[in-house]
Amino acid sequence: MLTKTELLCFSKCHKVDILFIIFFISFSIYFYSHVSTLANPPRDGADYLTNARNWLSNDPLYSKYRPPLISWIIAGVWVITGENWVIIKYLMPLFTLAAGIILYMLLRKEKGNLFAFGVSALTLLNPHVFFWGEQIHTEGLSLFFIILTLYFLKSKNKNNWIWAGIAFGLTFASRYATLVEVTTIFVVECIIRKDPRFATKTLLTALPIILVSVLIVYLKVGYFMAAQESDTHFTLLLTPYYLQNSLNIWGFAILLVPVAFLFRRTYQEKFNYTFIAWFIVSLLFWSANSNPILHLPRYTVQFAPAVYFLALLAVENLAKLYVRNDTKKNDEVHIE
């Protein structure tokens, strides 16, 4: 039986968790109200659906450069339910929602409930995460696997290398371009952890999954192509597209990101390094693509959590600075 004090403490500790649950349920209802209005899959989504059909019927793939995991998931569901795109329409957004929950769990341990709530809520409420996350697209799926990889890499449990490796490999299979982001996260986490055995084991788990994904596609298609030729040109002359459209893409929160870099505290906490690297490398990678058709807000979905993490970090640093100054003032008053 819990005492009154324990109950009070419990309710205080879990107040934010309860708030997050309420937010999450309300958000999910709103999210799925939008999903229900979708009458067609997007063009890319139709490609994944057709590829899933081709995997099942053993026909040549309709779209050969598409990542295979989403089509394998669809094919797996269709083995049980029969071919029906509406089931997939309701299934895929679950990955976006799951990404929000894992992000909350990941940040809650290190940064506290309120911080975790802020980052998760801002990520889920980002219009591009919301819109592309509800589609039969790889955005939600790969966001889920990136965050899952990070979750296991940040885990203090030394046996989680297997899950980290599996999630790492599946991130690649869910969307080839995310290899850049997930590798960045992996490298930084390895540096922070200073545990070569964990790093090696994770890599030895991830690599076979990546190789098997490539091999299966190679055997089916006859060659492996990670992207259309026109999409693979990079330049050192970075496009200002993402900076020019930053307010439209991330909202006013983006204005706080540079503020986060002004505080020494940002660089003192090792936990922040991964998010800093994730944000910088992703932004540089997508800005370096020379094809203007590929300058799209939806490519920012995969690093939206890093942006909101840095924005909240700025708020946290400002709040700590304010409290410190306030305490100083009070101390001075007492001395007088």
Partner 1 sequence: MFPMLLNKNKIILVLLGVAIALITAGTVSSIIYIETPRYSQFYDTKFVLAMNNISKLVPQNESIVASDKYGNMAFFINHELLIPWNASSENSLLYYMVKNRLKYMLVYENFSRVPELKPLFSHEGLKNLNDHFQLIANYTTNVHSSFQLYRLNKNWTFQE
In terms of C-beta density within 10 A (0-12 exposed, 13-18 middle, 19 or more buried), how is residue 169 classed? buried
Bridge partners, 234 (sequence order): 289
Task: Report which residue type is found at 70.
Answer: I
**Residue 135 interacts with partner 1 (CB under 8 A): yes or no:** yes
Of 60, 56, 150, the residue nearest 102 (C-alpha)? 150
On whether the CB atoms of residues 123 and 129 are closer than 8 A, the answer is yes
Among residues 42, 76, 240, 258, the one that binds partner 1 under rule CB under 8 A: 42
Q: Which is nearer to partner 1, 121 or 150 (CB)?
A: 121
Q: Which is nearer to partner 1, 63 or 155 (CB)?
A: 63
**Residue 43 interacts with partner 1 (CB under 8 A): yes or no:** yes
Compute the chain's Rg from CA coordinates.
22
**Residue 130 interacts with partner 1 (CB under 8 A): yes or no:** yes
Question: Which element (helix H / strand E) includes 199?
Answer: helix 196-221
C-alpha–C-alpha distance, residues 253 and 138, integer Å: 25
Task: Report which residue type is found at 149.
Answer: T
**Residue 62 interacts with partner 1 (CB under 8 A): yes or no:** yes
Q: Which is nearer to partner 1, 31 or 151 (CB)?
A: 31
C-alpha–C-alpha distance, residues 149 and 274, integer Å: 12
Calculate the alpha carbon distances from 143 to 21, 92, 129 in Å: 20, 12, 9
Min separation Cβ 16 and partner 1, Å = 12
In terms of C-beta density within 10 A (0-12 exposed, 13-18 middle, 19 or more buried), how is residue 176 classed? buried
**Residue 39 interacts with partner 1 (CB under 8 A): yes or no:** yes
Min separation Cβ 130 and partner 1, Å = 6
C-alpha–C-alpha distance, residues 288 and 233, integer Å: 8
C-alpha–C-alpha distance, residues 231 and 65, integer Å: 11
**Residue 63 interacts with partner 1 (CB under 8 A): yes or no:** yes
**Residue 101 interacts with partner 1 (CB under 8 A): yes or no:** no
**Residue 34 interacts with partner 1 (CB under 8 A): yes or no:** yes
Among residues 17, 28, 32, 46, the one that binds partner 1 under rule CB under 8 A: 46
Q: Which is nearer to partner 1, 239 or 251 (CB)?
A: 251
DSSP state of 92: T
**Number of residues in contact with partner 1 under rule CB under 8 A:** 30
Query: Which 233-292 positions form the footprint of partner 1 (CB under 8 A)?
Result: 248, 251-252
**Residue 189 interacts with partner 1 (CB under 8 A): yes or no:** no
**Residue 111 interacts with partner 1 (CB under 8 A): yes or no:** no
Q: Classify 329 as helix, strand or coil.
A: helix
**Residue 85 interacts with partner 1 (CB under 8 A): yes or no:** yes
- Sketch the per residue contact string, 190 through 229, with partner 1: x for CB under 8 A, - otherwise: ----------------------------------------
Among residues 11, 40, 57, 81, the one that binds partner 1 under rule CB under 8 A: 40
C-alpha–C-alpha distance, residues 156 and 193, integer Å: 9
Both tokens assigned to 84: 């029906």
**Residue 50 interacts with partner 1 (CB under 8 A): yes or no:** yes
Q: Which is nearer to partner 1, 53 or 108 (CB)?
A: 53
Among residues 32, 56, 64, 131, the one that binds partner 1 under rule CB under 8 A: 131
Name the residues that contact partner 1, by CB under 8 A: 34, 37-47, 49-50, 53, 62-63, 85, 121-122, 125-128, 130-131, 135, 248, 251-252
